[in-house]
A and B are shown apart, each in its own frame.
Chain A
Amino acid sequence: MAKLKVIAACGSGMGSSQIIKMKLEKVFKKLGLDAEIYHTNVGDAKSQANNYDVVFCSESLVSTFGKTTATVIGLKNLLSEQEMTTKVQEKIIDANK
């Protein structure tokens, strides 16, 4: 698979999105996926979503994204590597098979 462009988003683009990003970096490494991961606020992510392959955010923010070419993945626990691994496996790896 080509290098993935990933963005993590949260309300202010400061706290939670950076946590998601740091956890994602580990998960992607473990799964052997090559990815560039950024983090920002929801408004910014929404307007740029089409430039990315995958968007990660809290489940409560998924509906803000509406129609986009990126895969939007909602997380319940922003710190759970287990939840991220399952969702990356299902929505990125399996979906691209």
Chain B
Amino acid sequence: MDILMSVWEFFQNNILVKPQFFIGFIVFVGYMLLGKPIYECLAGFIKATVGYMILGVASGGLVGNFRPVLVGLKDRFELSAAVIDPYFGQAAAQMSVENVGRSFSMMMMVLLIAFSMNMLFVFFRKYTKIRTLFITGHVMVQQSSTALWLVLFCFPQLQDPQVVGMLGVLLGTYWAVASNLTVEPVAKLTEGGGFATGHQQMVGIFLVSKLAKKIGDPKKSLENLHLPGFLSIFNENVVATGILMTVFFGAIITVLGPDLMHSIDKSFGKNQNFLFYIVEKSFYFAVYLTILQLGVRMFVSELTNSFQGISEKILPGSLPAVDCAATYGFGHPNAVTFGFLFGALGQFLAIMGLIVFNSPILIISGFVPLFFDNATFAVFANRLGGIRAAAIIPFFSGMIQVLGGGFAAYYFTTGNFGGWHGNFDWDTLWPVIGVIMNNLQYVGVAAVVIILLAIPQILYQRNKDTYFVIAEDFDKYKEIMAKKQGVSVDDVVID
């Protein structure tokens, strides 16, 4: 017994609380179970572990690069600040978790439990009415990170196993229920493309699919619009981040002034020109984001691979819920750019509003929510409500992102580390869940899970005859709709 205890203690101290080894260990065991040769298991272990360690370096760099600016803002204006972006949010969540002395390994356990929950829901879909399995690995990592901090914030006294168990159930329920909401909108957009969306704006997509037809006319679509060619540079992540960060940090650092920056940032050389200092500082964000993404890609690709395999083998008849960018091919390229532009307009106006009304927190636009959320909304909005909906919806989404993200970064204190998750669902649904958890504690968590699970039941009750058909066989769905409308299949109207 004593030997067993000391083995467990060794495992706990060296692997379980060290996220890099824990992740490597999971990949190693997973590969062994798949019957891969030992050298491939070892390669997987190394890639996953190194990938995670790269992530750690980048998160530290990102927050460290931000710190002088945060100190300056605090010093001069009593302000805190946050970039609303899932990568900044993930870094800030990790720092927050470690700052209260807890292990970030829990993030990985939460992810695995939540994924298993989602699988169970699909497996029992006869009762749960869940048709989708969330398999977007990098998004699962980001969401597990932020949600882990929310639970530790609301339940600081809770032991690790309880934290992991409770959050695993909560997050797994969200993944299942929210991705299930996108089945109809995505199937109609892609004419039975065979997938759903598993990303960061799933509730948003559902709302857009309900609102867009009320806002505009699909016949007045944005296909005929000619957008200037230079906008295509925003297709590149590094370029877009470099530009965004230079604009925002340029403005902030200019207001703080060279004297203050000299006194708080040692990396600002005595003879360095102020303008070049700003550009260098801003570009460092692009540097750390690129490193961060490299790390994530290294350990997540192993994960996504096996998730994809599971979804095909174990759960036939269900839909994989994947990255929102998979829908872009079904919208006009103009829609993507349009969403980004109007989202940016909404965000900038809301940020000015924060400044004018003396908000205690300043929000800085991050590229991922700005681009991916609003471009996705525009693709769906354009199909149902034309150019008018594709402009108005991303505009308001941009404002909501800033206001909701600002509230969350302030309330959940991740503003101390300069970031918040920032994607649509995490500026709307999740702050609400967080506040409920914080005030009602366990009762709140139970209530949230029950309410979420009721949503697919309500959807099912409304369309019993087509609910599963639309996910399994779109042609058959069209036939049923044609019969209902009393027209031939070619003339059926699907909206």
Contact = CB atoms under 8 A, between A and B. Distances in A.
Given A11-B372, A19-B322, A76 B330 contact: yes
> Contact size class for A?
20 to 34
Interface of B: 136-139, 190, 193-195, 199, 232, 235-239, 293, 296-297, 300-301, 304-305, 308, 320, 322-326, 328-331, 333, 336, 368, 371-372
B232 A19 contact: no
A12 interface: yes
Interface in A44-60: 46, 58-60
A61 interface: yes
B323 A43 contact: no
Given A14-B323, A16-B325, A60-B329, A41 B195 contact: no
Interface stretch (A27-35, A77-85, A86-94): A77-85
B232 A12 contact: no
B236 A19 contact: no
A41 B237 contact: yes
A75 B238 CA distance: 24
Contacts of A12: 237, 293, 325, 368
Most chain-B Cβ atoms within 10 A of its Cβ — which of A15, A18, A42, A63?
A: A15
Q: Which 4 A-B pairs have the closest CB atoms?
A: A15-B323, A43-B236, A76-B329, A16-B325
27 contacts: A12-B325, A12-B368, A14-B137, A14-B293, A14-B296, A15-B138, A15-B139, A18-B137, A18-B304, A19-B323, A19-B326, A39-B301, A41-B237, A42-B235, A43-B236, A43-B238, A58-B329, A60-B328, A60-B329, A60-B333, A74-B329, A75-B329, A76-B330, A77-B193, A79-B194, A79-B326, A80-B194
B196 to A, nearest CB: 11
B138 A14 contact: yes
B330 to A, nearest CB: 7
Most chain-B Cβ atoms within 10 A of its Cβ — which of A13, A22, A60, A78?
A: A60
A86 B287 CA distance: 39
A37 B479 CA distance: 39
Given A15-B139, A79-B194, A63 B328 contact: no
Contacts of A60: 328-329, 331, 333, 336
B326 A14 contact: no
A14 B461 CA distance: 37
Nearest to B337: A60
Contacts of A80: 193-194
A80 to B, nearest CB: 7
A22 B329 contact: no
Chain A facing B: main interface SS = mixed
Given A15-B325, A18-B301, A63-B232, 15 more contacts: A10-B323, A11-B235, A14-B137, A15-B138, A15-B323, A16-B326, A19-B326, A42-B235, A46-B236, A58-B329, A60-B336, A76-B330, A77-B326, A78-B322, A78-B329
Contacts of B304: 18, 22
Contacts of A13: 237, 293, 297
Contacts of A46: 236
A69 interface: no
A77 B239 contact: no
Contacts of B324: 15
B328 to A, nearest CB: 5
A75 B328 CA distance: 10
A13 B236 CA distance: 10
B237 A79 contact: no
A64 interface: yes
Contacts of B239: 43
Most chain-A Cβ atoms within 10 A of its Cβ — which of B137, B190, B320, B325?
A: B325
A74 B238 CA distance: 22
Contact of B235 (A39, A59, A61, A76): A61
A76 B238 CA distance: 25
Nearest to B371: A11
Nearest to A74: B329
A59 to B, nearest CB: 5
Contacts of B301: 18, 39
A79 B322 CA distance: 9
Contacts of B325: 10-12, 15-16, 58
A57 B400 CA distance: 31
B238 to A, nearest CB: 6
A32 to B, nearest CB: 21
Contact of B232 (A39, A64, A74): A64
Contacts of A61: 235
B483 to A, nearest CB: 27
A12 B194 CA distance: 22
Contacts of B323: 10, 14-16, 19
Contacts of B372: 11
Contact of B136 (A15, A59, A78): A15
A42 B236 contact: yes
A79 B320 contact: yes
